[in-house]
Structure 1
Amino acid sequence: MEETEMATTLGEIAEKTLDIVKEREEETMEEEEKVEVNAAEGGGSEEEGASEDDGAEFYSNAELIGFCSADSESLKTLKNLAVRRGGSLTIPCFYDEKYKSDRKYWCKVRDWINCKIVAYTNTSGRTSVTDHPTQNMFTVELKSLQDSDSGYYWCVVEITGGSDDCDYVYLIVSSDPAVSVMNSSVNGQEGGSVIVQCFYSAEYKKEKRNWCRFKDKCFLGGRTNTSQNSAVLVTDYGKGSVSVEMRGLQKSDAGWYWFSAGDVGVTVHLTVTERPSKETTCSGTEKPKESQQFCLSHN
């Protein structure tokens, strides 16, 4: 795929994402006006009730903007992700080398007013955050997701003595997600191939479908050579399903990918293992069993 075409594809996705954010912000402003009127009439505010929620940590709207550098290129994740109700999802958050030793956390935004820290690095439970410093990334694993888990979240790197670094993602949980995959984690061997089955709902039939590698490139329909020996073959059946076949796998192909329809995506992790060595035996048939010689050949 040409670089100009790839840039256009990612640009369209970014533009649609921005439209969604603006729309959500307008809705939030309307809600805030209602809260102010309610408070003026003696009804209290949402913030008063939120501060008592299980002792969770919150930030005011002003602090949310100030404590977090959301326009930074030092921390990046995906923007709009879909998952089926009751399912699980793993979200990768990539950071700069300088953040290897800093603590990371996952934060849920509430109406752009309050931010609740859900989990810190190396915690476990329904939400777990795991740091992978050798890969300059941390992952957020979400389990048993329900509709109430939908909303905006932040991948955050905690910066001592300064503003934290972050990037947001919008999560949509529903009984019929816009996009989904058969398996969110696939394994293959060097030189082998893997197939990922992807699905999209009828409302996204006219939207452009993409298979992308995070922070790298996107692949449209047809065959794309990714290196001297590996290739990606994307077959769009046009009936709610897309098949992605990755052939001639190499170790460098391992990592995070995502399938998207329009501006909504779902993550897939690919693991590539070494091809097992092929063992053959060479023996002298005329020698006693205990003195037979063996040799190994490796491909």
Structure 2
Amino acid sequence: MENVQFDRKNASHSLAEVALVIAFESPLAGERLQKLKFLPAAFKDQFPAASENKELSLSVTDGRSSTVTSFNGWTLEKKDLETDLVEWQLIVEKNRIVVKGFEYSTWPEFKNELLALFERLSEELDLRHLHTKEVVIQFVDRFHWMISPEEYRLDKFFNPESSYLPYAAKRGGPLWHSFQGWLKEEEGLRVIVNLNLSTQTPAERPHRTEILHSLRAIGHEGYDGFSELDSKLISQILDIAHIDNKSTMQGLLNEEASTSIGL
């Protein structure tokens, strides 16, 4: 694609970030919380950089209010030694886990590394029988294009006839946003799909188009959430999300854009 850049130099595709989010029904407590406090030591071989996350709470005593900060978990990072860019980020807090990959190569490779990370976390924090509210897989694609507003064309990236595109995107302007979602059942799981499309033209910077596609697994077999959390379930949700993302992108992008990112 002529004059189009991606987030990372020499990247072969527009996928800038893939994330796994696991939201707990209740915050970690007791022995799990104690183990969380020592998490950086357990993952130092894989995530050398660690920073503590704080939780801010409001306290009112005798009509006076004050804020109190307390431990809420960690942000761990693995960086490229040459570029200092983050390759993997692991956020583990009392009520959620977020794993982000920024150096996406192939789906099988990414999935295997993600599952291995989950296995280590599950063993370290005893997550298997922890009730989970939802499991989210999120894909973020970005295109950067150095143009003036007058040069903008929707069909540079998108299929103008796509059912995912609203009227606001098709009327010709370079700035538009679309936020949509729907509920469906897939392989016995209840999932909410969100597709958020947006464009920006910051002053003296490339025009940016961002596609955020996420699949939220919120329950199965008539139950809300998940009482068991293991690699088999995570693997199933990952594969459903990957297939749905690929299908959505193929219906959204034009042929040139689809080819350029290997769809």
Q: Same fold, TM exceeding 0.5?
A: no
> What's the TM-score, normalizing by structure 2?
0.27
Q: Tell me: higher relative CO, structure 1 or 2? Use CA pairs within 8 A at least 6 residues apart.
A: 2
Larger Cα-atom Rg: 1
